[in-house]
Amino acid sequence: MKTVVFTVIGLCTWSANAQDLYSTRPVGTPVDHNGVEQASQSLSGYSMLVITPPPPKQLRLHDLVTIIVNETSRATRTQSLDTKKDYKANVRLSQFPSLADLIEARLEAGDSNTTDLLNILGKFQTKNKGEYERTDRMTTRIQAEVIDIKPNGVLVLEARTRIQTDEEIQLFVLSGNCRTEDVTDQNTILSGQMHNLNIITKNEGEVRKGARKGFIPRALETLFAF
């Protein structure tokens, strides 16, 4: 009788341990700092092969971001103008009061010979043709500063570079907006991912002066633009 009781108690104890071994506790899906569920992280407690994505990048004011500039632009324009205008005007005086009678306070018609006061004949013709073609390419890497963060997380970046070699000065200014998630883990972003991109390049020095037209050629081009 004692043997049967011990056997039943042993079976009950083993069943309870077996349930604890194979039972799983409810695990909720983790959420990030924005309250968004991260389904992939819920497997981290069950599998060693789960790769947890890195946390979203956080940028603050005055942080630095590397901008990879690779811009290519090409513009081609062709314009032609052909105008023709003819103008003719003829003014004739058929009658004029007699001056002798007019002095005597009499209004009488004078000599009836007609006189041509104005006779103009004009002809104007213009034919112009212009072509414009330009190709620009810029490739560089530049450090930009976060100067503002919009309420929706959009970053406002600005970069300035000044290079001086003897009397030659080159000023490079870049500004634009980008999304925080577009900034890579290496802290870089492509210029093609930026909105409202503005690139300004200015050069000063003897090379710039030598390439610029003088005052007299510019004045002559203004006077004889046609």
pLDDT reading at 8 higher than 50: no
Q: What is the pLDDT of residues 71-121, one digit of tens each?
A: 888 888 888 888 888 877 776 766 666 666 667 666 666 665 556 666 777
Indicate the pLDDT class of residue 17, thresholds 50, 70 and 90: very low
> For the whole prediction, is pTM greater than 0.95?
no
Q: Is residue 88 part of a domain?
A: yes
Task: Answer for the pair 179, 194: CB distance below 8 angstroms, yes or no.
Answer: no
C-alpha–C-alpha distance, residues 164 and 162, integer Å: 7
Q: Residue 223 — φ and ψ, nearest 5°?
A: -70, -40
Strand-pairing partners, residue 133, are: 76
pLDDT reading at 14 higher than 50: no
Task: Answer for the pair 180, 189: CB distance below 8 angstroms, yes or no.
Answer: no
Amino acid at 15: S
Tell which of 88, 113, 130 closes a domain.
130
Give me the domain span that covers residue 153. 64-77+135-223
Q: Is residue 185 part of a domain?
A: yes
- Which among 68, 35, 40, 66 is positioned nearest to 54, based on CA atoms? 40
C-alpha–C-alpha distance, residues 73 and 56, integer Å: 34
Task: Answer for the pair 90, 119: CB distance below 8 angstroms, yes or no.
Answer: yes
C-alpha–C-alpha distance, residues 200 and 53, integer Å: 38
Q: Note whether 69 and 166 are same-domain residues.
A: yes
Domain count across the chain: 2
Q: Note whether 71 and 88 are same-domain residues.
A: no
Q: What is the pLDDT of residues 33-55, one digit of tens each?
A: 677 766 555 666 566 776 777 77
